[in-house]
Chain A
């Protein structure tokens, strides 16, 4: 009879590195818990596991910005605009995430959403969630940006329809309203 071999893997004793990790993430104020592979990207986590498909995958190479979301607590305590295709879900364990779905409150659009609507800041709309989240990240840091600062702020977000002019107008209009009404996220 063959000798029974008990193979003790590292993880069976004290799991030091992990192939599957439990994560808890607060997205738009709601707590989610999942066990994920460490290689799972934040954008896929948000779309495929949590089911919030407002965050888009554009280039998947951190160029286009369509996947932009805000993250709080990852690098410091401020809300930061990040490209969720270049962040691991594991990195935001215990942190907060804000996506486009979290902007409207009680059926009222966020000033940025309304400004994009009123100023024709979108045509096909694919880039819009990322554009709005990047704009929000910019305005939280700089509530009264110049036109030039807005252009720099959204230089990581590509739009193939509008030519950006109305996007910049939208952000200017939203910035004004947010300042006047003291609106943040």
Chain B
């Protein structure tokens, strides 16, 4: 019951494929490629890695490096399909918590999934999406944060 194709061509009134805040048509979800930004996590002096980055890490020290999680696959820790979504968010909205293994260091992330056909333990890969929800539709000030990011797609 994969809806991957539907996500790539979702109607324009749904988040993830609506207008950008400048009024330009947004890009569909992509596999990344040369134009996709990094899925950036922060590495700290004690070796720990967090997504998102914080001013200081779990050990109380500032980050010293970044890690691009888009180069890795991850395992589904848990997932849900939300059917009561806020303004500007696709409905249904599949979301998952996943865990990457970066050279033996676990790093968790959260994000939309490309399908609700998931199971705990599935292997997924990050897929870039230029606009995850309509920035103009919700309560948060559009300019206050980024609206692109990575969804998780099962590795076939």
> Do the two chains bind?
no
